[in-house]
Chain A
Amino acid sequence: MKQKKFLDNFGRSESLWMYACSRCGECVDVCPVYEETADKYTAPGFKIKKMRGLLRARGSAREESVKKVVEGLYECTLCGRCWSVCPNNYDLVALWEKARESAVETGFGLNPHTEMIEALKAENNIFKRPHTGRRDWTKGLRIPEKEKADTVYFIGCLMSYRGQLKPAAKAMATILNAAGENWTILKGEVCCGAPLRFSGGTKHMEELMDANVKAIESTGARKIVFSCPGCYRVFWQEYSKLLGDRVRLVHAIELIDSYVKSGKIKLKDKTEERITYHDPCELSRLSGVIEEPRHVFANLTTQFVELPGNKFNVKCCGGGGLYKAIDLDKSREIAKKRVTLAEEIGATTLTTACPSCYMTISQAARLKKSNVKVIDFAEAIAPQIE
């Protein structure tokens, strides 16, 4: 009777929220997945209603009902749009992660995610590729691997193992070199653990965190730079407790903005390229990095255009929360909407500051046969450095 134990990990806050939810339905209205599926089990407020029912039923909860709720829990990009409109300001992102954690603990976890947890345990990356090949992407590039450095560039799994992202990593390396940064990548880097939070395998995070902290501390670095907002968020939320205040955590776009402001890098004359920018949910809404990219783009082009549904209220690209592993088609449909918006505003280039968003949106643009060019923001900046 494993269903009896589902949601057993809910503490006072989560249990109270089941009853305190104001049932206004605001979250239903804005959820990108519900908008796509029209299946009420994917609607945030409906999930809360069903979880409340399961908590009350306890002993008599049917396995089928739990399965249905769990499926709904994974049909979510964890973009936090539901939280952004919640009048009570309740941390819904943490709630979904906690419920997923319970699903995995009680054996209700969905297959793609449990496989990924196993991959992480075996090879320290989400793709089950050999850990020994994590730095293969550096071949042919001028990427420093020093024992000691002031700055660590934390690459993350996607950039390490996905060939399409190599130009983005290369561009970032160019920028760091141009700014004269004494930097290195980590020899002992492993997955940051963010995918474990998304999948519900949180209890395996400690091992990964220890390995990364040890590798970072051995370099003596005082600054860590991230291209992936997922890594960035898990670092400022979780790793900062271990690293303390002596290490500064910055997303690459914040760092580039500081380079531009301080004159550490000088950009060529502004282009006339019509560029737009998709705010990654984890960077804008969930980390507050909103103005920095706009400042950089204002120095890069005379034709920066805002993508509708952006900044704090950004609509997810469909690639968050490991949703692609659950429903690739729906994820792509969500991403196509972002591409369509870029087309409608006449943008020729769509940039983003997240490897996952980049992969999702660029695939959608290819499928849509769109003329909009999708690139990582670093690729837009690197060629413009004087």
Chain B
Amino acid sequence: MTGDKKVPKKKYPPEMNYSIVLKGMGRTSPIDVTFHLLMAILLITGLIIDLLGPWLGGWLSSIRSIAHGYVGALFVLVFIVYLIKVAYSKKMRTVLTVTNYVDFLFYIILTVTGITMASVNWPWINLVPELADALSSIAVYAPAVHVALTYVWIVFSTVFPGGILHGLASVYLISHLKKKYKNRRSRVR
């Protein structure tokens, strides 16, 4: 328990807007912010590659290898740290739901298939023949699984209260409360 956790003084009744939420998240957990930010980039770039690929011309390769590929590699590292954090944090386990854990499973499969697809571009992969063999056996299915699973996850996590619904609700709530809280009564000094 860290009951003596200090936070910057706030004003009651509270206000809510994007700046407050972002600062709050950054203060609470930089790992969470990075995790969410990277995931948003990966989702957007992934959808761009899949849906707009034929129209991207020369940009497709850059988006795929840099915006999706390198950001994806960074995401893998952050995701590992995030999972370790969950494993060691009783408070997080208290509030996470089954859907959140299913979401994590989706991310793990997406991560593995993503790594498999990227592995063909690793010059050092032949130095580790066992890994190369293991990845090559699933390499054929990896792109299809990666793309299909992304859409399955989007549907799953919207229908059930998973990541997508959480994101949509957050954006809508902040926009809604930004207006509502403006008319609230504050203490007159």
Residues of chain A at the chain B interface (Cβ within 8 Å): 12-13, 16-26, 28-30, 32, 35, 40, 43, 45-46, 48-49, 52-53, 56, 80, 83-91, 93-94, 236-237, 240-241, 245, 248-249, 285-288, 290, 308-309, 311-313, 315
For chain B, the count of residues having a C-beta within 8 Å of the partner chain is: 49
Contact assessment for A26 and B28 in the assembled complex, using a CB-CB cutoff below 8 Å: yes
**CB atoms of A312 and B91 under 8 A apart:** no
Query: Which residues of chain B in 84-119 are interfacial with respect to chain A, using CB atoms and an 8 Å cutoff?
Result: 89-97, 100
Is there contact, CB below 8 Å, between B188 and A236?
A: yes
Q: How far is the CA of A311 from the CA of B8 in the complex (A)?
A: 11
Residue of A nearest to B2 (CB): A29
Q: A35-B1, A237-B185 are in contact. Are A23 and B95 (CB under 8 A)?
A: yes
Top 6 closest pairs, chain A to chain B, by CB: A25-B91, A87-B24, A45-B95, A19-B169, A28-B91, A16-B173
Contact present for B16 and A88 (CB under 8 Å): yes
A16 pairs with B91, CB closer than 8 A = no
Contact: A23 with B24, CB < 8 Å?
Answer: no
Alpha-carbon distance A244/B29, docked complex (angstroms):
42
Across the interface, do A26 and B91 meet the contact criterion of CB distance under 8 Å?
yes
10 A-B interface contacts by CB (under 8 A): A19-B169, A28-B90, A30-B3, A43-B94, A49-B95, A89-B20, A236-B185, A237-B13, A248-B188, A288-B12
For the complex formed, measure the closest distance between the CB of A176 and the CB atoms of chain B, giving whole angstroms. 20
Contacts of B174 in A (CB 8 A): 20
- For residue B53, CB closer than 8 A to chain A, the reply is no
A85–B21 CA distance with the chains assembled, in angstroms = 12
Q: How far is the CA of A50 from the CA of B170 in the complex (A)?
A: 19
Specify which chain A residues have a CB less than 8 angstroms from the CB of B11 in the assembled complex: 288
- Residues of A close to B90: CB separation below 8 A: 25, 28
Binary contact readout B23-49 vs A (1 if CB under 8 angstroms, 0 otherwise): 011011100100000000000000000
